[in-house]
């Protein structure tokens, strides 16, 4: 009786080659989409080095006001830092980092609308600006860390707004995503905050994150910030919640491969990539994002976050596009 082993081996070899060919084709498509997206960011970057963002009344989405904010520049610089061998991305990052440095105030903090904003500096913009700048080789300011560290409430959670408590702000309650970003910032100096970790783990355990946070209505903002702090920042105290975040993200993927809008799909996909997910789920989401890429290389403008009362919405094509770039880059270097 002749052995079937050689035949089985041949079949397996053909299957492996087909899979490898498919993977190579997808990698090439991702690389091309990434290049087009980076070119879009380079073409739309302002002379200042910043990027255009918009704010609008939630009930009147057709009437938008253009602004510049460190939030957008920080996300672009951060996301493009994963494109290590792309010279265009490097130039965009350098110019974006330069804009952040010029917009910085003593003792090393940022306001959402820039130096002339009537609102006080906030922990979210400050944390993400420093995280982005650190990836570009800038040294963290100890005084800035002291300022953020001091902006905690009686439960030792980070307040969004920093400085004078009497300053006019729309909320002084702790925001879960802001606290994740603060943990990411302090991971750069290997400092952890047990009460913050306990609060965030409870958000996952009780499914509170599913309803969004004060300033971030989408649950995927939380999962992305969570996975980023855990994977990129090494915030190990979040470890016990990783399985649930991964499972929930997987279970809510839609039949088209996405999780809603382009912005939410990029956030959810990055959540999975940051937590080590591979295979068909990731590939389906990548294909959807590539199919939705616009002819100029960017993705559509969508609301990324809101004011505390949800009356104002804020977004930027640069933010969504940079998140897509980050997803492609992390997939290609997996």
What are 277-328's pLDDT values in tens digits? 999 999 999 999 999 999 999 999 999 999 999 999 999 999 999 999 999 9
- Higher pLDDT: 5 or 291? It is 291
CB 300 within 8 A of CB 318: no
Q: Mean pLDDT across the stretch 3-13? A: 50
Looking at residue 22, its pLDDT comes to 52
Residue 12 pLDDT level (bands cut at 50, 70, 90): very low
CA 234 to chain centre: 16
Looking at residue 4, its pLDDT comes to 57
Does 192 score more than 70 pLDDT?
A: yes
Can you give the pTM of this predicted structure?
0.92
Does 104 score more than 70 pLDDT?
A: yes
Residue 221 pLDDT level (bands cut at 50, 70, 90): very high
Looking at residue 3, its pLDDT comes to 55
What are 237-248's pLDDT values in tens digits? 999 999 999 999
Looking at residue 7, its pLDDT comes to 56
Which of the listed CATH numbers 1.50.10.20, 3.30.230.70, 1.10.3720.10, 3.30.499.10 matches domain 36-332? 1.50.10.20
d(CA 132, CA 76): 9
Mean pLDDT of the chain: 93
Does 14 score more than 50 pLDDT?
A: no
Helix 123-135 to helix 87-103 angle (10° resolution) is 140
Residue 9 pLDDT level (bands cut at 50, 70, 90): very low
Looking at residue 82, its pLDDT comes to 98
Per-domain residue ranges for the chain?
36-332
């Amino acid at each position: 009786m002749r052995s079937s082993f050689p035949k089985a081996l041949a079949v397996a070899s053909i299957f492996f080659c087909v899979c490898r060919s498919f993977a190579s084709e997808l990698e090439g498509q991702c690389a091309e989409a990434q290049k087009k997206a980076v070119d879009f960011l380079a073409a739309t970057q302002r002379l200042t080095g910043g990027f255009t963002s918009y704010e609008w009344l939630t009930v009147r989405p057709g009437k938008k006001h253009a602004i510049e904010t460190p939030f957008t520049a920080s996300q672009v610089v951060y996301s493009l830092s994963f494109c290590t061998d792309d010279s265009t991305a490097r130039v965009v990052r350098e110019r974006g980092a330069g804009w952040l440095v010029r917009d910085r105030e003593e003792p090393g903090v940022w306001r959402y609308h820039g130096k002339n904003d009537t609102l006080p500096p906030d922990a979210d913009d400050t944390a993400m600006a420093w995280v982005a700048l650190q990836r570009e080789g800038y040294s963290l300011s100890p005084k800035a860390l002291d300022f953020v560290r001091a902006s905690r409430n009686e439960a030792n959670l980070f307040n969004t707004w920093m400085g004078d408590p009497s300053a006019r702000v729309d909320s002084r309650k702790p925001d879960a995503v802001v606290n994740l970003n603060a943990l990411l910032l302090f991971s750069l100096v290997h400092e952890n905050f047990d009460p913050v970790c306990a609060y965030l783990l409870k958000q996952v355990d009780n499914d509170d994150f599913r309803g969004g946070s004060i300033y971030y209505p989408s649950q995927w903002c939380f999962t992305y910030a969570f996975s980023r702090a855990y994977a990129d920042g090494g915030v190990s105290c979040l470890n016990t919640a990783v399985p649930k975040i991964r499972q929930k993200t997987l279970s809510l993927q839609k039949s088209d491969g996405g999780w809603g809008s382009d912005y939410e799909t990029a956030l959810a996909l990055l959540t999975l990539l940051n937590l080590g997910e591979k295979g068909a789920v990731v590939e389906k989401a990548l294909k959807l994002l590539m199919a939705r890429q616009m002819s100029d290389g960017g993705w559509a403008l969508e609301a990324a976050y809101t004011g505390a009362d949800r009356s104002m919405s804020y977004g930027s094509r640069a933010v969504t596009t940079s998140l897509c770039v980050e997803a492609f880059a992390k997939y290609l270097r997996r």
